[in-house]
Amino acid sequence: MARVEFLSASPFAMLGGSVGGIVAIEFDKPTKVQEILLTLTGREHSQVMVQQGNNAVPIQQDVVFLNQAVSLRSQVPFQDPEHAAPGTYQLPFRFEIPTVAPPSLQTAPEAVDFGHIERVVDGLFVDYTLEIKVDIPFWIDPLRKHRFQVYPPLRVLGGLPQASNLAAPNGLRLSITPFDPTHPWIGPGESFSLGYTVQNPEGKALKDLTVELVRLVDYQVRGYARSDRASFGTSGVAIQGNAPLYQGRIDLAIPNAPGMVNPGIGNLFRCTWAIELALGAHMGFDLKLEVPLMPPVLAVPTPPPPPAPGSAPPGAPPYGGPLPGGPGYP
């Protein structure tokens, strides 16, 4: 009767950019076609399994933040006003992705089978999907879906705070500062260094200091609150002994993984990144410090028009330059 495929479709797109490709539609005989509709959908989806009696019941919630549709019917030749002519047709398409929208995010795996996306475990998902559907009256409508990833133009996770410290009742004190304060913003595929100071006035027997980069996602599903913690790299240095003071540097290389984005706050979730440090000591006197990253600047307010020639103060930076000490989000 009819068959549809995404012959070519972008596997990813950028916020503020576009996604495009080619849809192939094949009719093996004259076919009555009501509509050929291509839809772009962006949505937040959350799901939890709740125990009700002896059964585990899935509770789900969806928020659609993007819904664009375009008809491709006019691009297919018709042998009469209702019936598409037999043949195979390749139809190009392109959608613009809004600048202000969350990037793709998922906290758990998901299965894709025959073009239908099925949620298989608890989690929070921000996904973008293309769907092509041929509306054939009194027949099963051919349908195909294509899911793609959407990334921000600059994948910055956040900024290192100027300084953080934590003291324990047993006298241990841990302080950290960025090793390079001129480069506070960190992102995938980069590395950062922290300067640390450990004060040990009571002479506890210390073991090591570890640092871990984590993504924390708090989400809700119809009143049920859940949290997800994912680790994206860890490093450590050995601290053996009971000296009153230790100082040094600890480095962490950040992987370039797909899930390394910071969408901030959505309709169903809040995403934050943090550095977790653990000072290991013998006899159970461990000290843990969680340092949230400063949220990235997702947009720079539009400045007033440039001043007339000769009116700018001496040494004024040119419009469009990078943020001071930051990555320069456009």
313 belongs to a structural domain: no
Residue 151, token pair as written in the block: 């990334």
Q: For 90-123, what is each residue's pLDDT tens digit? A: 999 999 999 999 999 999 876 444 445 554 578 9
Same-domain pairing of 108 and 192: no
Give how many domains the chain has, as a whole number: 2
Q: Rounded to whole angstroms, what are the CA distances from 4 to 1, 205, 311?
A: 11, 67, 61
Residues 126 and 224 occupy one common structural domain: no
Here the tokens at position 218 are 């708090």
Among candidate residues 237, 261, 125, the one with its CA nearest the CA of residue 189: 261
DSSP assignment string, 102-157: PPPEESS--EEETTEEE--SSEEEEEEEEEEEEE-TTSPPPEEEEEEEEE-SS---
Residue with tokens 């994206």: 232
Domain shared by 115 and 172, yes or no: no
pLDDT at 39: 97
Going from the C-alpha of 188 to that of each of 9, 197, 251, the distances in angstroms are 25, 27, 15
123 with 193, same domain?
no
Of 151, 174, 199, which marks where a domain is finished?
151
Output the pLDDT for position 273: 95
Whether the Cβ atoms of residue 219 and residue 124 lie closer than 8 Å to each other: yes
Measured between alpha carbons, how far is residue 64 from residues 46, 101, 152, 195 in Å?
A: 12, 11, 19, 44
**10-residue stretch averages of pLDDT, the chain, 330 residues long:** 88 94 94 96 92 86 95 94 94 94 88 49 92 93 94 87 82 86 84 91 91 95 93 92 93 87 92 93 80 70 44 35 32
Distance between start and end Cα atoms, the chain: 48
Please indicate, yes or no, whether residues 34 and 82 belong to a single structural domain of this protein: yes
Query: Is 305 part of a structural domain of the chain?
Result: no
Backbone angles phi, psi at 76, to 5 degrees: -105, 130
Please check whether residue 89 lies inside any domain of the structure: yes
Residue 182 falls inside a structural domain: yes
Say if residue 106 is in the same domain as residue 43.
yes
pLDDT score for 110? 66
Range of the domain at 168: 158-292
- The Cα–Cα gap between 60 and 324 comes to 43
Same domain? 128 vs 250: no
Q: How far apart are CA 26 and CA 246, in angstroms?
A: 71
Both 176 and 51 in one domain: the answer is no
Place of tokens 């119809």: 222
pTM above 0.85, yes or no: no
Q: What is the pLDDT of residue 316?
A: 33
Q: Considering the domain boundaries, does residue 272 fall inside one?
A: yes
Whole-number Å distance between alpha carbons of 316 and 279? 46
CB-CB contact of 208 with 280 (8 Å): yes
**Are 42 and 111 in contact, with CB atoms under 8 Å apart?**
no
Instruction: Give the CATH number of the domain where residue 279 resides.
Output: 2.60.40.640
pLDDT at 40: 97
Task: Give the span between the Cα atoms of 55 and 52, in whole angstroms.
Answer: 5
How much is the pLDDT for 113?
A: 47
